[in-house]
Amino acid sequence: MEIPVSAWASELFGSEEKALLVRDRLGQGLVDMQANAQASHLEADVASTQVHGVVRYLGGYERVSAALESIPGAELVKPNGFRFELVRVENALLYPFCFSKKDSNVRTAKIQNVWSVIRELFAFAPPSQQADIFGEFEFDPSSVELRPKLAALPKDTRLVLVPFACNAAGLLKPYWGVAALANASGKLDWIIDPEPLPLPAAATLKHGIPQQKTDHHPGFDEGEQPIVALSPRPEADHKLKVTPTTEVPPTEPLANEDDEN
């Protein structure tokens, strides 16, 4: 039995049908990400899980974008200075990130590196409801100056977070929801409770070796022979019977180390 989507998702994505499609594609993209990362780790045949981590990091953006970009109305958004493309569907801008390598409570999820682009993404989130002991808010989304490609997004765009726990052994807990950035250390204030993402049973990766060029490349001994320029002997040398020389005669030094200074 299919789990229905919440009202907030239907509203952001325009309809319940499209929200279901986005949710299913998100799950597929994350499963593909993990399958690709695990395959790369096994192929590397090393004890370290660093290969898995790198491919998982890249795939968290690339596999998710590939899964979502064909949805009607989807738009790829690559913020200036950001390496990857994010996907905007209707009024939702999706941001996937790994919050833990173990089975952790998603409510403890933090943004690990709150650099300039991340702060700008959270300008599309609601303001935090968690004030400090002085009643002040550390991060004000309305005060953030956006770079051009983010500034060009419609004003009603809402940031939807896709946090997931993942390690080399498996994809653990993927969610989606809406949160505010509570402070500069990456703490999140969940405005809409994070909901589990249903996952498909199998990945859809296309395994194979990229097509190689089959054109014949000549070997070293098959190339054209170089043309050696010949310099004829002067006629005077013939008449005087001067012995031909094949090397430049050595130059006698004008001074040597035995000369007085």
Token pair, residue 10, equals 């239907």
Q: What's the pLDDT band for 209 if we cut at 50, 70, 90? A: very low
Q: 91 and 157 in contact (C-beta within 8 Å)?
A: yes
- pLDDT, one tens digit per residue, over 3-54 is 889 999 999 999 999 999 999 999 999 999 999 999 998 888 888 888 998 9
Token pair, residue 140, equals 């004000």
The overall average pLDDT reported for the chain is: 85
Please give the C-alpha separations between residue 228 and each of 150, 224, 225, 231, in angstroms, as whole numbers: 63, 12, 9, 10
Please state, in angstroms and rounded to a whole number, the distance separating the CA atoms of residues 176 and 180: 13
Residue with tokens 């990091």: 57
Statement: residue 135 has pLDDT above 70: no
Instruction: From 133, 121, 198, 129, select the one nearest 161 (Cα to Cα).
Output: 121
Please state, in angstroms and rounded to a whole number, the distance separating the CA atoms of residues 140 and 119: 10
- pLDDT, one tens digit per residue, over 106-132 is 999 999 999 999 999 999 999 888 765
pTM here?
0.76
